Structure 1
């Protein structure tokens, strides 16, 4: 029996390899066909969460560094709802091979969203339909989360130009993200940027923020910086931030202060802060004697409990030794006064100032008690 020389078998090997590659390419293309992959992943996620998840256009996928599904015009809504709770101009979802091949549960390793828009009213409506299965679990994203040019619409306020860069997310482990955006309410805009760190990733965790930005309202355009240490709790009916330590510094007319307190946001807003004003801002009316010649920190207490748009008046108590100011004021009125350089020299406060002594045009008054201003906006008056 005569056998062919070994050197002549290489065309057979190449032919077999070519067929194998063609079959492999066909199988991979079938397994990873974009429309099929998108429908499988989104249907599984949507069914498990009671949501309709759709997209426009033709989805795409890439294989490096791992399978990635790219979607244009993502829309997430509660079935039958008029408004979606989440939209995104572009979404990119990275998946491990086990999920792609259907060999395990649906797992996502990274999410990137371009121009996402979250409607909190629609989100609350969907959450109200969900069964009470205990605390919401934070997903694991081994390669993190990235949001660009995002928007969150609340009741009378919104976050815009929001960006979040979170390298990794794992329940119970530390998480740190670079965040930036603009908080807008009426004519006032608060720009912010800086790192936000959670001690343990979850809905309740100690946190730290160290950043800065600008406050803009009408003609007011002042820089600020702040360091905040506290604890955030999103597990209840209201979102609660307990402030263990806050250091705030602002360009005049913004103050420099330290504070502790609590913020609770739900159907209404409750705020309570207490701390010290380090000094009297240059842009504020000058203090009378003897306070002007003996500068020292002022103790203060600030409280608010009312509508989330800050339309309810705030209360402010400022004291130093035996001198005390009890006041109420409208936030919109105060911001307007800060903008007005040539207007009323006195802030729009309603309240009482009491002090052991006060120097006015060279005369010293003893045991002074002064009533200040007109009623703050929305403050009821007795008939």
Structure 2
């Protein structure tokens, strides 16, 4: 009789526990909380989901989280926010307890990634073997945003049909790079030989640069090798070629250009040094080649030095003997300021024994180019020119020194 009573009590307790467990499992927020707690512990992050959560166990298990925030403990800036994250994982992956990283599909709505916060977190992680997951039905990201130092990528959409560790992959990327009043919309197709460091990378598609009142649409092709090191993420052996067209009102100037060098993104800053640059233009666009470097974070810093092949025919005619010379024009260019190049640029230019050092603002020079047929023959710049000899109608000048000074309303800051 006592044994029967004990068995009956045990059955009742087990039934009550089962009811309580089912009730607990039936509350998605508690399931999501348990999963996020384990993920937070594993990743060294604080991960929360303030919105209503959902899950499904039939078929392929699915977990949906809303209003997700992930940050380092104590960090003021989250490294990730997202309106919605949906994860579909096969039962085989769940039973494998980490030995199998196969995921059916991941969807992210309005994720926001802070590059500097991400890299600070990555710097705290212990070295471990990199394992690439498998996405059998791919990844979809919509309305994303990546935040750098002084720049962002907005309205980012990524469509990745599938991902396998040892296979090539392709993806579609759309978005809009923004820095101050400058914007650069893009629509690109990307391809990787495999999802790993040192893999071959290819990009092709359309990119535009927009800064009212001008725009610069272009078609580009880029190739390189994926880099992941202590100096940041990036691309090695970059080779970029583009066909572009400068537009401003009725003015339209086509040209092509190329870039080469290593690209790095570190602590929110983008840099490329050493940089090789070549430009092939016509009309008012010169042809040149140069070397230098650039860095872009809270400001844009650019340095170039090289040779301009010849004085563009659309520019004002030079006095003799400069006009008859067939020598290339060595130059140096430096800039530090806003990404739209609207701050003051410094230029050194030489032809034979004639030298010029000056300063100018690119928007003013572009305005001058647009009106070059009807406006003043002198570009809007400040500087100093020296030449041993100039021929002018009616005579010859020797030992010439000329200072260019803008009008008071156009005075340029250093």
How far off is 1:174 after superposition? 1.2
- Please state if 1:96 is matched with 2:83: no
Matches of residues 59-70 of structure 1 in structure 2 within 5 Å? 59-62=53-56, 66-70=60-64
How far off is 1:201 after superposition? 0.5
**Range 315-324 or range 198-207, more displaced:** 315-324
SS at match of 2:126: coil
Corresponding residue number in structure 2 for 1:23: none
Corresponding residue number in structure 2 for 1:328: 333
Could you tell me whether the CA contact under 8 Å between 2:143 and 2:156 is conserved in 1? yes
- Please state if 1:210 is matched with 2:204: yes
Match of 2:236 among 229, 232, 242: 242
Match of 2:219 among 225, 245, 257: 225
Could you tell me whether the CA contact under 8 Å between 1:55 and 1:72 is conserved in 2? yes
Corresponding residue number in structure 2 for 1:190: 184
- Please state if 1:300 is matched with 2:289: yes
How far off is 1:59 after superposition? 1.0
Corresponding residue number in structure 2 for 1:255: 255
Match of 1:311 among 292, 300, 303: 300
Q: Find the aligned partners of 2:273 and 2:392 in 1 and give their Cα distance.
A: 36
The 3 A distance-change label for structure 1 pair 203 and 166 is: same
Q: Find the aligned partners of 1:125 and 1:188 in 2 and give their Cα distance.
A: 28
How far off is 1:60 after superposition? 1.3
TM-score of the aligned structures, taking structure 1 as reference length: 0.73
Could you tell me whether the CA contact under 8 Å between 2:108 and 2:140 is conserved in 1? yes
How far off is 1:225 after superposition? 0.9
SS at match of 1:124: helix
Q: Deviations over 1:59-100 (max 9, x none)?
A: 113467622211111111112222211010111111112455
Match of 1:270 among 260, 272, 277: 272
- Please state if 1:130 is matched with 2:125: yes
The 3 A distance-change label for structure 1 pair 219 and 57 is: same
**Range 246-255 or range 342-351, more displaced:** 342-351
SS at match of 2:128: coil
Q: Find the aligned partners of 2:169 and 2:384 in 1 and give their Cα distance.
A: 45
The number of aligned residues is 334
Q: Deviations over 1:261-304 (max 9, x none)?
A: 33233356233443543322x454xx7xxxxxxxxxx3411422
The 3 A distance-change label for structure 1 pair 265 and 123 is: closer
Could you tell me whether the CA contact under 8 Å between 2:261 and 2:272 is conserved in 1? no
SS at match of 1:35: helix
Match of 2:150 among 153, 156, 181: 156
SS at match of 1:173: coil
Could you tell me whether the CA contact under 8 Å between 1:203 and 1:235 is conserved in 2? no
Matches of residues 19-58 of structure 1 in structure 2 within 5 Å? 34-58=28-52
Structure 1, unpaired ranges of 5+: 1-25, 288-297
Structure 2, unpaired ranges of 5+: 1-19, 247-252, 310-325, 336-340, 344-360, 407-411
How far off is 1:161 after superposition? 0.7
- Please state if 1:199 is matched with 2:204: no
